[in-house]
Amino acid sequence: MLTEQEIRSLKEELEKLTGFIGEHGTDNELHNRDVQFSCNVNDALAWVLEEIQTVRFRSDDYLRLNNLKHIAKAIEIKTRKSLANHK
């Protein structure tokens, strides 16, 4: 298991990198897939460190669970497989 300090260290590193790119980079650099992914990971780490409340983290601002449920429903209809039966 990772220590809280390891998680905080990674979060700080991501914040520094993405903050620098956000402040000094071009729109292209800011919207790069790797930058966006790192921002999402940083949000997840903030949730793990209890800097973001669970109810907020589960909202559309972060997880967009409703969109995932709609995708799953479309797959259920298309494949006749059930999400409820998936392990």
Q: How far is residue 57's CA from residue 80's CA, in Å, rounded to a whole number?
A: 31
Q: For residue 80, what is the DSSP state? A: -
Chain CA centroid to CA 25, Å = 21
Q: How far is residue 38's CA from residue 32's CA, in Å, rounded to a whole number?
A: 10
10 Å Cβ neighbour count for 33?
7
pLDDT band of 9, cuts 50, 70, 90: very high
Report pLDDT for 5: 97
Q: Report H helices in the chain.
A: 4-24, 27-30, 33-48, 54-57, 65-79
Return the structure tokens found at 57. Answer: 């983290």
Per-residue pLDDT tens digits for 40-76: 999 999 999 999 999 999 999 999 999 999 999 999 9
Per-residue pLDDT tens digits for 16-29: 999 999 999 999 99
